[in-house]
Amino acid sequence: MCGIIGYTGKDIAVPILLGGLERLEYRGYDSAGVALLEGDKLFIKKRAGKIRELVRSLWGKPLKGKTGIGHVRWATHGEPTEDNAHPHTDSKGEFAVVHNGIIENYLEIRKELEEEGIKLSSDTDTEVIAHLISKFYKGDLLEAVLEAVKRLSGAFAFAVISSKEPGRIVGVKEGSPLIVGIGEGENFLASDIPAILPYTKKIIPLNDGEVADVSPEGVNIYDFSGNPITKEIMIVPWDLISAEKGGFKHFMLKEIYEQPKAVGDTLKGFVSKESVLPIDLREFRRLIIVACGTSYHAALIGKVWIERFVNIPVEVIYASEFKYGHTPLSPDDIVMGISQSGETADTKFSLQSVKEKGVKTIALVNVVGSSIDRESDFSIYTHAGPEIGVAATKTFSAQLAALYSLAAFYSMEREALFKKVSSVPMKIEKALEGAEHIEVISEKYMKAKDFLYLGRYLNYPVALEGALKLKEISYIHAEGYPAGEMKHGPIALIDENMPVVCVAPKDRVYEKMLSNIEEVRARKGKVISIGFEGDGTLKELSTEFIEVPSVEEELTPFTTTLPTQLIAYFIASKLGLDVDQPRNLAKTVTVE
Ligand code: M6R
């Protein structure tokens, strides 16, 4: 949902901004732009399209400015044109703003500005910020920003520079993510850590309602009333290599192959712990999990584990449906938000609404210091490292590792369960050895118009996740369904053109799955099955058979997920699509 970066320091800003934007491009990629302080003037360049268009447009330009801001956009208000690309300026071109989020009352402000004779030049909600700051400017950028912020409602983060105050950047956070990076004689602002990782690991994540006044000499943080705030510096545990492709064609493929490590590291984070939370999960009447997309699918699997091993009821609700719903809550309930980014607006706002009712919250996030992490009463973490591909892969497996560990931890069989799961990273590695075979199968079916994904019990969410992966990166319509529900309607869709991915490891519902597969065969559907190695019966029933190593039934999602990720990856890649940055999507969804 848009990425922003700011740099002020001893070096020429433009390469730092462009490099940072490239690492933020996963957040939005329909247009990009930079604003630089060149002497006492603002230089602005923006382009519709991917960041390479912006880079090309800057070739050969003798830019020397050492302060600047940059933006990659995921359009909310206004088409992805050059006019609507950020940065946006005031009428005199003295203030430039880059923004992530939505200014909900922008129409009202726009009308007011127009009545005052100001001509706006874009359809965006952002432009009003630049005009407001210009209007309130009386010689101090910070004061003008604080005044402008009083007029804004919505969820937003923005950064502003002015030709009137070289070397200074002011950044504001209210609802969308913004971090400050602390360097030597240089400082940064960014939507996310990878943007500034080559320069510093020292960061200060801003909270909502905070403003950072950034110059090469230092950073001061204030609340929206202008009161100074003291904040601690955090050291990021990631290195730059983990945010680069490392020889793989796409981030997604690299991240698929990083799953043994992501799972292993996440498990390690739990196994040695005396307590994983400062509360006992078993003392609560009910656990509610709110999440979106892939994190929601991980939650569905977590529900089965927690109900089975801890014996407390778990409800899983889409975060986008929860906040405006009527789920009764009591202090005996506890609500967990799962989010790899820790910034997803739907999840964050759901947890905030829960806290307002006095109910305790737990975050399960991959990004330490993210908004959801900071705002929750308790946090647990996945240790997947940065995930850049828009399609979540290694963070999903890491979420499974965390949820399994949580269930194991509060179970009577703690030690036995931890012992069982310890072999999973190796089993994942083994499952990845099947990639070549999966590539061949993917090529055969890449022209299909629709796919069905079927599974039962723990592998029903795996089917949902497989379908989501295929949809989001290959643009092929795919439905995930509980295999037993198929006969209640979707079976009507099956004919000889329909590939049906059937997730059928040998678990308690294996026989039932075989019957469901027979039903697909009877309608001439093409059965692509995922099952345990050496399963001759399943192989016999299938048009294509993909083997994964056999594991105990509760561990099956760790291995059965991999072929579904690889099918999506190979199909999208063979169709020549942009696997890491699929159309219309953004990695971090910071709007409701
Ligand atoms: O950062 P989060 O885990 O909160 O993100 C939730 C979804 O936006 C995310 O899982 C999305 O569905 C992915 N593109 C799936 O691959």
Helix H segments across 152-202?
none
**Rounded Cα distance, 406 and 309, in Å:** 10
**Rounded Cα distance, 585 and 469, in Å:** 12
Residue 591 domain-assigned? no
Give the domain-ending residue among 390, 422, 454.
Answer: 422
Residue 503 domain-assigned? yes
- One domain, residues 37 and 170: yes
Helix H segments across 1-126?
13-24, 51-58, 106-115
- One domain, residues 232 and 349: no
Note the pLDDT of residue 276.
86
Give the domain-ending residue among 236, 253, 269.
Answer: 236
The protein residue with its alpha carbon nearest to ligand 1, atom 8, reads: 293
- Which pair of structure tokens corresponds to residue 591? 């709007």
Note the pLDDT of residue 77.
77
Q: Which amino acid is at 102?
A: I
By mean pLDDT, which of 130-134, 569-573, 579-583 is the weakest? 579-583
Domain total in the chain? 3
Q: Across-strand partners of 223?
A: 210
> 357 pLDDT band (50/70/90 cuts)?
very high
Centroid of ligand 1 to alpha carbon of 392 (angstroms)? 6
Task: Report whether pLDDT(243) > 90.
Answer: no
Name the catalytic one among 135, 173, 394, 587: 587
Note the pLDDT of residue 221.
98
Residue 75 domain-assigned? yes
The protein residue with its alpha carbon nearest to ligand 1, atom 11, reads: 293
Note the pLDDT of residue 241.
67
| Ligand 1 atom with least separation from CA of 341 | 1
* Long-range contacts formed by 170-173: CB under 8 A, 24+ apart: 170/141, 170/142, 170/145, 170/211, 170/212, 170/213, 170/214, 171/6, 171/206, 171/211, 171/212, 171/214, 172/145, 172/210, 172/211, 172/212, 173/206, 173/207, 173/208, 173/209, 173/210, 173/211, 173/212
- Dump pLDDT digits (tens) for 43-54: 999 999 888 999
Query: Which residue range is the domain that position 21 belongs to?
Result: 3-236
Is there a catalytic annotation at residue 574? no
What residues does ligand 1 touch, defined as CB less than 6 Å away? 292-295, 339-341, 344, 347, 390-392, 468, 472, 585, 588-589
- One domain, residues 47 and 91: yes
Residue 122 domain-assigned? yes
Residue 592 domain-assigned? no
- One domain, residues 255 and 328: yes
How far is C-alpha 393 from the chain's CA centre?
A: 11
Task: Report whether pLDDT(240) > 80.
Answer: no
Helix (H, G, I), strand (E, B) or coil at 68: strand
Cβ atoms 144, 136 nearer than 8 A: yes
- Dump pLDDT digits (tens) for 15-60: 999 999 998 888 888 899 999 999 889 999 999 988 899 999 998 8
- Dump pLDDT digits (tens) for 75-102: 777 788 888 899 999 999 999 999 999 8
Note the pLDDT of residue 250.
94
Give the domain-ending residue among 403, 422, 441.
Answer: 422
Is there a catalytic annotation at residue 502? no
- Which pair of structure tokens corresponds to residue 436? 């070549």
Centroid of ligand 1 to alpha carbon of 151 (angstroms)? 31
Residue 584 domain-assigned? no
- HEC readout, 255-321: HHHCHHHHHHHHHHHHHCCCCCCCCCHHHCCEEEEEECHHHHHHHHHHHHHHHHHCCCCEEEEEHHH
Angle at 199 between CA 36 and CA 390, to 5 degrees: 85
- One domain, residues 404 and 444: no
Residue 115 domain-assigned? yes
- One domain, residues 433 and 402: no
Centroid of ligand 1 to alpha carbon of 412 (angstroms)? 32
Residue 294 domain-assigned? yes
> 464 pLDDT band (50/70/90 cuts)?
very high
> 137 pLDDT band (50/70/90 cuts)?
very high
In the chain, what percentage of residues exceed pLDDT 70?
Answer: 99
How far is C-alpha 206 from the chain's CA centre?
A: 18
Task: Report whether pLDDT(1) > 80.
Answer: no
- Dump pLDDT digits (tens) for 259-276: 999 999 999 988 877 788
- Segment 117-141 mean pLDDT: 95
**Sheet of 477-482, strands arranged across:** 477-482, 450-455, 499-503, 526-532, 544-548
- One domain, residues 332 and 435: no
Note the pLDDT of residue 588.
80
- Dump pLDDT digits (tens) for 384-440: 998 999 999 999 999 999 999 999 999 999 999 999 999 999 999 999 999 999 999
Query: Ligand 1: which of 317, 322, 341, 351 to mutate, most ligand atoms within 8 Å of CB?
Result: 341
- One domain, residues 402 and 489: no
Note the pLDDT of residue 587.
80
Note the pLDDT of residue 28.
80
CATH of the domain at 470: 3.40.50.10490
Note the pLDDT of residue 497.
93
DSSP for residue 549: -
- Mean pLDDT taken over the chain: 94
- One domain, residues 160 and 98: yes
**Rounded Cα distance, 121 and 265, in Å:** 50
Note the pLDDT of residue 246.
76
- One domain, residues 251 and 393: yes
**Rounded Cα distance, 36 and 85, in Å:** 15
CATH of the domain at 7: 3.60.20.10
- One domain, residues 49 and 92: yes
φ/ψ (deg, to 5) at 527: -90, 115
Residue 61: how many other CB atoms lie within 10 Å? 12
Note the pLDDT of residue 254.
95
- One domain, residues 433 and 557: yes
